[in-house]
Amino acid sequence: MPKFIDITGKKFNDLIVIRRISPKYWLCLCICGKEKISRIDSLNNSITKDCGCKRRINMLNRIFDKKHKKLDCGCWQWKGVCTSSGHGQIGSKGAHRFSYERYKGNIPEGIYVCHHCDNPGCVNPDHLFLGTPLDNMQDMIKKGRDRKAKGETSGTHKLKEKDIKNIRKLSKEGKNYKEISEIFGIHRSTVGQIVRNERWKHLD
């Protein structure tokens, strides 16, 4: 019978062994903070190097690179799923927060990622800065976003009123959301919201 070797506390790549689960399996803690159960031989042979976080991050990086478009104004406009506030969504977090972490570093707990450009769909790290909830509120008031601006008076608009009318006209003529989204460079869900009068309600 092989001699038992206690590897508690030993580091294997990005995993630190916490305790033994069974003769072959050990509970480990990844440097990202998540736990992972791994076989002892997988640890010794570097088959298991982390909890899978690096694979997830690499996948999200590939998605991020494909889902934004660099505009002439300098913004990196998110083309993927967006929240009702216009912020991009990637995985379980905001695309702007993902961008900040990717290019600038960690975000302290309770801190917001704000936009210099006042465009919630922008993920350009050079347009992002950290702020407290109070900072974010003061920035909103300073830029007039507390007054519920509409259409072209909104600091976050990308389309003109004539574009909205053309989008609704094209939809009535039989163009589908995908075709329209490609014409105007916006997401299909945004086209649907415009056609259904969920956005730009003040325009007939």
Quick: pLDDT tens for 122-136.
999 999 999 887 877
Q: Is 52 left (phi over 0), alpha (psi -120 to 50) or beta?
A: left
Residues 6+ apart with CB under 8 A from 5: none
Q: How deeply is 19 buried, as exposed, middle or buried, from its count of CB atoms within 10 A (0-12, 13-18, 19+)?
A: exposed
Residue 29 lies in a domain: yes
The reply to whether 42 and 77 lie within a common domain is no
The reply to whether 146 and 82 lie within a common domain is yes
Per-residue pLDDT tens digits of the chain, which is 204 residues long: 567 789 999 999 999 999 999 988 999 999 888 899 999 999 999 999 888 888 888 899 999 999 999 998 899 999 998 888 889 999 888 999 999 999 999 999 889 999 988 888 999 999 999 988 787 777 766 666 554 444 443 434 567 888 888 899 899 988 899 889 888 888 888 888 889 888 777 665
Q: 128 is in which domain, residue-wise?
A: 73-153
The identity of residue 25, as a single letter, is: Y
Q: How many residues does the chain have?
A: 204
Residue 65 lies in a domain: no
Residue 63 lies in a domain: no
Q: Is the pTM of this model over 0.75?
A: no
Residue 108 lies in a domain: yes
Read off φ and ψ for residue 155, nearest 5 degrees.
-70, -10
Residues 6+ apart with CB under 8 A from 204: none
CA angle 160, 162, 166 (to 5 degrees): 120
The reply to whether 82 and 131 lie within a common domain is yes
The reply to whether 80 and 139 lie within a common domain is yes
The reply to whether 17 and 89 lie within a common domain is no
The reply to whether 95 and 133 lie within a common domain is yes
**Number of other CB atoms surrounding residue 115 within 10 Å:** 23
Domain count, the chain: 3
The reply to whether 28 and 93 lie within a common domain is no
Residue 202 lies in a domain: no
Residue 59 lies in a domain: no
